[in-house]
Amino acid sequence: MILWLNPVTGVSGDMLLGALLGLGAPLDRVRSAVESTGLPGWRLSTEQVQVNGIAATKAVVDVEDTSTERHAAELIARVRQARPEPVAELAAAAITAIAEVEGALHGEHPDDVHLHEIGGLDTVVDTVGVAAALHALGITAVHSAPLALGSGTVRCSHGVLPAPAPATLRLLRGAAVVGTDLPGETVTPTGAALLQAIGTRFTPPPVMTVQDTAYGAGTRRFPQRPNVLSATLGVPLGAEPAEPMVVLECNVDDVTGEVLGHVINRALDRGAADAWTTPATMKKSRPAQVLHVLCRPELASELSDLVLAETGSLGIRRHAVDRRALPRRTTTVTVQGHQIRIKHGPHHAKPEHEDVAAAAAALGRPLRTIAAQALAAQRRDA
């Protein structure tokens, strides 16, 4: 998949995360990746907002520890614990890029750099969240229009500095930029570092078949200009919208249902695209289950080891498949005071069952009634 960004008011980590969640990156998968770092006291949610008439997704990150000063090495060690591994590598590359430019500016080794404004735990959520969302969407190439740079000054721990700040400018080496009359910081160091780590190419929209477009909302508001990051998902023109995957399978007749459920959950947490069981009859007419795990090729070895260790099976099969995944996104509606997520595909929208069930139980109403009200609320908001 190809991602094309149009940062007409700049880019930040939370704007990029909001845009990717708006494109359909599963919030649960993103949260699971952040949780795998062991980060304490955090919460990630989304809000659907209107910005100058544009419906956009705002990523809302809350952390209990609001200190913004830490050594970069602490944040890098934290994000390296993220799973799956490609998520950890991308998030660590982004924070390492920040540490390197800060070290160059202050004459310090990157391992010794003390981050000020961007040393908060929310940086972990932003970087791991963006990396996990890109991974979940299967994005392999990122293109961007020129970055809109603000003017004037920014206030930081070193005093009042010209905008963009020196660290941001160093992170923008090789990037295409354009000046604007927007005041202050429009491109944050985290946003710039993520674009660098992703390997963003600054080009017009590449030749592709557009699948979906979403907007990530920023915090600031500008008169007569929506502060949103436009993100468009597409596939190369003429290419089949399919991706290579691997299916892992093993037959088991001596594993309990509790263990199989545990294995499925662990496989999904490790980055599997899907996992399930089907009933089967094995030798000696024994009832059994076939455990299936669908994953990207680079995760096949890790997930094979997981399945073999957890089930005790003596072997596992693997075969290559192609998966066509339609673009999807998630919005949120409120039904009688309860928030319910709505999953959108090109042809259908469906309320999240867990949210509907929780609301129905709390309100003492039938499940189908709450589901219908959620869809009606979604149609009103559309």
List pLDDT tens digits, range 176-191: 999 988 888 899 999 9
Mean of all residue pLDDT scores within the chain: 90
83-104 confidence digits (pLDDT tens): 999 999 999 999 999 989 887 8
In the chain, what are the domain boundaries?
Answer: 2-236, 243-323, 329-381
Does residue 72 or residue 253 have the better pLDDT?
253
Please check whether residue 83 is in contact with residue 89, taking contact to mean a CB–CB distance below 8 angstroms: no
The mean per-residue pLDDT over the stretch 304-323 comes to 94
Q: What are phi and psi of 125, to 5 degrees?
A: -65, -45
Pair 75, 115: CB distance under 8 Å: yes
For domain 243-323, give the fold. Alpha-Beta Plaits (3.30.70)
Residue 381 pLDDT greater than 80, yes or no:
no
Distance CA(108)–CA(10), nearest Å, equals: 29
pTM: 0.65
Beta carbons within 8 Å of 38's beta carbon, 6+ residues apart: 78, 81
